[in-house]
Each structure stands twice: as C-alpha cells, then as structure tokens.
Chain A
Amino acid sequence: EAQVTQNPRYLITVTGKKLTVTCSQNMNHEYMSWYRQDPGLGLRQIYYSMNVEVTDKGDVPEGYKVSRKEKRNFPLILESPSPNQTSLYFCASSFSGGRYEQYFGPGTRLTVT
C-alpha cells in the first residue's frame, strides 16, 4: 500500500528534551515536506527537501532541523523543544513534477510541557 508513515503518533515531552519524529514514504517520491497545523492557521511549512541531501527552510523553520540521507526518510528533529512547539505535525511527499498533490502522513500530536 502506498503510504506515508510517521512515528510516534502521539508524544508528550518536557522542555529541552531532544526528540525526533520519523517520516517514511514508499512511493519513491523526490519531494518531502514537514508542516505544523495549528487552529485557525492552517498548515504551515517547516522544512522541505527536493531530493536526497537537498533541504531548505519553509515558513516556520526556527527550532527545527531536518535531514535527508535516504530518499524514503525525512526525520524532523527538535533539539530543544519549547511549549510553543506544541502542535500537530504532518509529513508529506510528492513527485517533483506534481507538488500540488502531496500525500500526507497520519500526523504526530506533540505536547511540550
């Protein structure tokens, strides 16, 4: 089954404790992206990757890191989480030529206390 998977689905952590949210896709997509969803703000892009070893900032990159060492994986790293990073996070992927049609993972709900 073609899909984007994220782990964990739910995470409660404390301020300053480093965490990683994993994302993997099995559709051989070149493009991958991370979004955060907050009420009334829609989805805002954090980082994106055009291909392996090619990453760039989105609209809200502060406090986040990413890496793209393999085509299928695109982990999101929070080195020192803060309460304002409490949010619902989505990973998405697409072919390079069809970035309007992105396939989203199921989401990771993160709470930072």
Chain B
Amino acid sequence: QQQVKQSPQSLIVQKGGIPIINCAYENTAFDYFPWYQQFPGKGPALLIAIRPDVSEKKEGRFTISFNKSAKQFSLHIMDSQPGDSATYFCAAIKAAGNKLTFGGGTRVLVKP
C-alpha cells in the first residue's frame, strides 16, 4: 500500500512547456514534503521542499503547490528545458520521522 501516490508515471513536453506532477498522501502525520530529482545513472538529489502550512513555494523555475485539505501537492516546472529531463520523486516525512516515504516517480522528457 503506497502511502504517497504519484502521477503520471511519465510525461513528454516540448521545450518551454510546463510539466505538472501530482502527488497525494494519506497520512496526516506527514510534516514535510520534499521533491527529489534523479538523472540517469545518478542518485536522487533534493530539489525543493515544502511544509503543509505553506500553499506555494518557488525556487527558480520549480514551483510546489500544496493543498492541505485535499492532501495533495504538485510540482510545476516553468519554462522547461531539455536539461530538466529526469525522473522526479515526491516524498513525505513525519516530524522527527526516521524515513522518507517516496512516490512511485515520474519520468519527464523535455523535447528540444
């Protein structure tokens, strides 16, 4: 039973488009929601993170939107570039928790 559900599994956009990745969680004890970016042959790396008391956070071209009542959050990649082609994972962790719970991942391909 996946506690964090992520969709879609894959996404293809043209350069300049806005890929959107959605995640939903069940456990209201989750206190922090990071996104990780993984390039082929590499380990995941933290991209951006948000707490549930914030509805939106931007870092460069990456934006997280958070809907606490719906228990959903999403990642938008503004003005996407071919270099953004990677697998993206949403995750969740409880306050003082010992583990990250990951979504299933979304493979994003940005075509030139």
> Which residues of A line the B interface, CB within 8 A?
4, 31, 33, 40-45, 48, 50, 56, 58-59, 90, 92, 99-107
Which residue on A lies nearest to B45, using beta carbons? A104
Q: Does B19 contact A (CB under 8 A)?
A: no
Q: How far is the CA of A100 from the CA of B94 in the complex (A)?
A: 9
Q: How far is the CA of A6 from the CA of B98 in the complex (A)?
A: 22
A47 to chain B, nearest CB (A): 10
Q: How far is the CA of A48 from the CA of B101 in the complex (A)?
A: 13
Q: How far is the CA of A58 from the CA of B2 in the complex (A)?
A: 14
A-facing residues in B44-96 (Cβ within 8 Å) = 44-46, 49, 89, 91, 93
Query: Quick one: CB contact mask for B1-12 with A, threshold 8 Å, 1 for yes?
Result: 010101001000
List of B residues within 8 angstroms of A44 by Cβ: 102
Contact of A100 among B2, B44, B49, B105 (CB under 8 A): B49
Chain B: interface size category: 20 to 34
Q: How far is the CA of A112 from the CA of B9 in the complex (A)?
A: 26
Q: Is the CB of A106 within 8 A of B41?
A: yes
Q: Is the CB of A42 within 8 A of B46?
A: no
Q: How far is the CA of A99 from the CA of B32 in the complex (A)?
A: 10
Q: How far is the CA of A43 from the CA of B93 in the complex (A)?
A: 13
Q: Is the CB of A99 within 8 A of B44?
A: no
What are the 9 closest A-B residue pairs judged by CB atoms, nearest first? A104-B43, A42-B102, A43-B102, A100-B32, A42-B104, A45-B99, A100-B93, A100-B34, A101-B46
Q: How far is the CA of A58 from the CA of B91 in the complex (A)?
A: 15
B9 to chain A, nearest CB (A): 7
